[in-house]
Structure 1
Amino acid sequence: MPERPATPSWFPSTPGEEPPDPPLSVWPTGQRDLATQLRDADCVRGTDIDTDLIPPAIAAHAIATYTRPGDLVLDPDCGAGSVLVAALQSGRHALGLTANSRWWKLARANITAAKAAGAWRDGSVLDAHPKVLATIHAAGLIGRVGLVLTAVRTATDDSGEHATGPDHDPIAAVEELAATLAYCEPLLRSGGHLVVVARPHRQPDGSLVDLTTALIAAGTSAGLAPVDRCVALTAGLRGNRLVTRASLADRRAVARATGAALALTAHHEALVFQLAHDAELAAAAADSHWPTEDEIATRPAVNGVDYPGWRRAA
């Protein structure tokens, strides 16, 4: 996959101007621990109980990279609302959905806190399943969403505890997410992106679950094209080494594994998708040749006329 979003927005706009640096494939989002991030984002007490939430720094980085001020950011399974807070604080509109009553209360409280702190964009959270996005109730959202940003969520009850059993493993959660991605595809505006953030999960033997393959398949089946695969650090950078801040669940998983040396995880995975036709157009544009100043100067005239539009087009 490319190391930057497949979008023509980074093409040079004036002669001699270099395109901006492409977005990083490694996001430096782990320079503060999660508790500090939640506190600095003014999230309400209890937000940290949502163990599947997207850390505020990761949400803010994705929003800054893939949206413009005033865009609409949608999280179709928003949990406690960390994405909604990051969107409002970045000057974007925010809409979240959750059918979990505990998460709905927390997300609503977080939106209220963000607005009280000065965020003036529109933000709301609906007590609803993602499938409502495929009904007439969401007709006004078609083609309006600049970014869908959501996490892979394993099943939880209202206490916030993760359910166990074969029906609630991470791969099953991705299969449920596949339907949600299909609901979101018609809502994306042209040039919009859909980003799925997945925290690492381990098998009983301690090995990491391959969520990437399942997520790419889920996005493709929803009519989306994968355009980027990024690593969002949850560890701090200290010179040439990482300061790991693994969760308690991950530490326990490593402790249970026997017979193999295992490293603590230091990142979340971020899979970036676009509408299939947008990705095709961007790929075609990226393959086109942009003439240099020397090529423009030496280009022969047509019928004896040197058209100035060539220079503007370059």
Structure 2
Amino acid sequence: MNPITPAEVPVSVWATGQKPSQVQRRGRYLPESMKHPGKMLPAIAARTIATYTRTGEYVLDPMCGIGTTLVEAAHLGRNGIGVEYERRWAQMAAANLHLAHRQGATGSGLVIGGDSRRIIRLVPEQVRGRIALVLTSPPYGSSTHGHVCSTRDSGEDGVTKQNNRYSTDRDNLAHRRLPDLLEGFGQILDGCAELLVPGGVVAVTVRPIRVKGELIDLPGQVVQTAERSGLVLVDQLVALLCGLRDGRLVNRASFFQKLEARRARDRGVPACATAHEDLLIFHRACDLPGSPR
């Protein structure tokens, strides 16, 4: 047996946080894009698309937000399709796609407004069964920590936050309690699985969350949800949100993450700020070797 060379060893940790999010987006996305509080990191999207698709193939994001998946797909010569429930962000995704094409991106892009729980009806008929990659992230709720605004910035006493809410529509799935949210996400995965080309991939980027101080294994719950949709976990990668410098981690955690971790440690809970996202890779069970057709 020939020894495995380092180049042949699958890389399970991706250095996707070498640059901060705002630097990764600078000049590539409209500045207003930063107002979305739950953006996918461009480096995660770009590496996932480059790894699991080829030029000219279709990439789908059923909850595309400001269009990160679509923009990175277009720059890589892939054809992106995104569905977004919130009209504001759908318009932003379309504007970011337009910017990408002005900058020379060769892949096509389409943004569809609608509820992805009915994604089969929303996606054009001609691409059904031709999606090579579904890349998305589940909603974490109707708001996130957002951005810090200090006294120097706002003129008000204390630290405030802004851009922390991306939905006020009560019909948005993000407003549901976690069990209902996961049920809705499962409905989305059901539809996405039907749209895949044989051998296609579903990739979900997700991190643990805290609900009222309790750490919730959201990646684990997403795996269980995907399994009920006929998907099988075939790989679990680490996409770093921090930088790597001389063998050390460069913390890029938000102010609020650090604050929560500090408060938890003060209570005797050994908490750390999140430094990575899990990138969960799924295939349809029916596409795996030995599965009944």
Using the size of structure 1 for normalisation, the TM-score is 0.76
Q: Secondary structure at the match of 2:211?
A: coil
After superposition, where does 1:47-86 map in structure 2 within 5 Å? Answer: 47-86=33-72
User: By how many angstroms is 1:56 displaced?
Assistant: 0.2
Aligned equivalent of 2:83: 97
Q: Secondary structure at the match of 2:198?
A: strand
Aligned equivalent of 1:251: 258
Q: State yes or no: 1:229 paired with 2:233.
A: no
- C-alpha distance in 1 between matches for 2:137 and 2:94: 18
- C-alpha distance in 2 between matches for 1:175 and 1:250: 27
Aligned equivalent of 2:209: 201
Single out whichever of 114-123 and 170-179 deviates more from structure 2. Answer: 170-179
Aligned equivalent of 2:278: 269
Q: Could you tell me which amino acid in structure 2 is paired with residue 250 of structure 1?
A: Q
After superposition, where does 1:297-312 map in structure 2 within 5 Å? Answer: none
User: By how many angstroms is 1:49 displaced?
Assistant: 2.2
Give yes or no for contact 2:76–2:107 (8 Å, CA) kept in 1: no
User: By how many angstroms is 1:169 displaced?
Assistant: 5.2
User: By how many angstroms is 1:237 displaced?
Assistant: 0.8
User: By how many angstroms is 1:18 displaced?
Assistant: 8.9
Give yes or no for contact 2:201–2:281 (8 Å, CA) kept in 1: yes
Aligned length: 263
Q: Could you tell me which amino acid in structure 2 is paired with residue 209 of structure 1?
A: I
- C-alpha distance in 1 between matches for 2:288 and 2:165: 39
Q: State yes or no: 1:174 paired with 2:149.
A: no
Match of 1:191 among 199, 202, 206: 199
Q: Could you tell me which amino acid in structure 1 is paired with residue 25 of structure 2?
A: L
- C-alpha distance in 2 between matches for 1:136 and 1:97: 8
- C-alpha distance in 1 between matches for 2:137 and 2:279: 9
- C-alpha distance in 1 between matches for 2:109 and 2:167: 30
Alignment CA distance shift 1:127-1:175 (3 Å): same
Match of 2:165 among 161, 186, 199: 161
- Greater strand percent: which structure? 2
Aligned equivalent of 1:305: none
Q: Could you tell me which amino acid in structure 2 is paired with residue 24 of structure 1?
A: V
- C-alpha distance in 2 between matches for 1:200 and 1:83: 21
* CA radius of gyration, larger in: 1
- C-alpha distance in 2 between matches for 1:98 and 1:136: 11
User: By how many angstroms is 1:22 displaced?
Assistant: 5.0
Structure 2, unmatched stretches of 5+, are 144-162, 169-173
Match of 1:39 among 13, 16, 26: 26
User: By how many angstroms is 1:254 displaced?
Assistant: 2.1
- C-alpha distance in 2 between matches for 1:136 and 1:261: 45
User: By how many angstroms is 1:231 displaced?
Assistant: 0.9
- C-alpha distance in 1 between matches for 2:116 and 2:206: 18
Give yes or no for contact 1:231–1:269 (8 Å, CA) kept in 2: yes
Alignment CA distance shift 1:137-1:223 (3 Å): same
Alignment CA distance shift 1:160-1:104 (3 Å): farther
> C-alpha deviations, 1:177-219, integer Å up to 9, x for none?
11100010111111210001113312323x5310122111111
Q: State yes or no: 1:124 paired with 2:110.
A: yes
- C-alpha distance in 2 between matches for 1:74 and 1:132: 14
Q: Secondary structure at the match of 2:26?
A: helix
Give yes or no for contact 2:83–2:113 (8 Å, CA) kept in 1: yes
Give yes or no for contact 1:132–1:138 (8 Å, CA) kept in 2: no
Q: Secondary structure at the match of 1:135?
A: helix
- C-alpha distance in 2 between matches for 1:171 and 1:251: 27
> C-alpha deviations, 1:54-96, integer Å up to 9, x for none?
1000000100111111110100010111111110011100010
Match of 1:147 among 123, 133, 141: 133
Alignment CA distance shift 1:20-1:147 (3 Å): farther
Give yes or no for contact 1:23–1:65 (8 Å, CA) kept in 2: no
Aligned equivalent of 2:288: 279
User: By how many angstroms is 1:223 displaced?
Assistant: 1.1
Match of 1:260 among 261, 265, 269: 269
Single out whichever of 170-179 and 68-77 deviates more from structure 2. Answer: 170-179
User: By how many angstroms is 1:170 displaced?
Assistant: 5.1
User: By how many angstroms is 1:102 displaced?
Assistant: 1.4
Q: State yes or no: 1:88 paired with 2:74.
A: yes
Give yes or no for contact 1:156–1:163 (8 Å, CA) kept in 2: yes
Q: Could you tell me which amino acid in structure 1 is paired with residue 72 of structure 2?
A: A
Q: Could you tell me which amino acid in structure 1 is paired with residue 190 of structure 2?
A: A
- C-alpha distance in 2 between matches for 1:96 and 1:268: 21
Please provide the CA RMSD for this pair: 2.7
